[in-house]
Amino acid sequence: MIEGGRIWLKAWQRAAVAVGSTVGALLDPRRADLIAALGETTGKHAFERVLQRMKSSPEGRALLLERPRVVCAKVGHAWDLAANTFGAAYARFMGSRNFSPDDRPPVRFMDTDELAYVAMRAREVHDFWHTLFDLPTNLIGETALKLIEFEQMGLPMCLLSVIGGTARFNEKQRKLFYQHYFPWAIRAGMQSTDLMCVYMSTFS
């Protein structure tokens, strides 16, 4: 069970939460709870496809069996690793921004424990992927990463985030994004291995 308590919704309730979360997230993109709710209420089928891919992968099955979490108590050792390791790069990314892996909101609207874990995993590896693709946390970097996440997982929320992000670009940002980041992110998302089936948090 993913801590935080889950809420079972009827179809009309799920749609209402999705619409409300969309409006709220567009008005205030900093509301991680609304973005999380949007991802869960619109992403059930995408998460089911990710779950099936994980079940078809030895490493994915290990993730589903062991259910590692990306929280301070589990990844704190990254701060002690050698400078040339992925774990150290992740620690630098988090530390330089004063981020905590414990800040992710809990999963509330998934129907099963397995889907709840997949949704939580997708949420928790976001900063791993920032580190892996060396993307900043500004508007362009977040939008590019959401495009990669859409290519990897097919979540409608990721596509909506890309649309919302590009709508807030100024002219200079828009030109830079579509000339450089957009084609690169499409290739990165399509050509990378299935990252939801990569353990990562062992930092080996």
Q: What is the DSSP secondary structure assignment for residue 179, as one 8-state letter?
A: I
Residues 62, 59: Cα–Cα separation, whole Å: 5
Residues 129, 200: Cα–Cα separation, whole Å: 10
Give the count of alpha carbons within 13 A of 62, CB side only: 9
Residue 51: C-alpha distances to residues 20, 54, 119 (Å): 27, 5, 9
Q: Confirm or deny that 113 is annotated as ligand binding.
A: no
Length of the chain measured in residues: 204
Residues 56, 59: Cα–Cα separation, whole Å: 9
Element at 114 (helix H, strand E):
helix 113-124
Q: What is the DSSP secondary structure assignment for residue 30, as one 8-state letter?
A: T
Q: Confirm or deny that 126 is annotated as ligand binding.
A: yes
Q: Confirm or deny that 45 is annotated as ligand binding.
A: no
What does residue 121 show for φ and ψ, rounded to 5 degrees? -60, -45
Q: Confirm or deny that 142 is annotated as ligand binding.
A: yes
Q: Give the dihedral of Cα atoms 179, 126, 35, 67; nearest 10 deg.
A: 150
Q: Residue ranges for the binding site for Zn(2+)? A: 126-127, 130, 142
Mark the binding-site residues, compressed into ranges.
Answer: 126-127, 130, 142
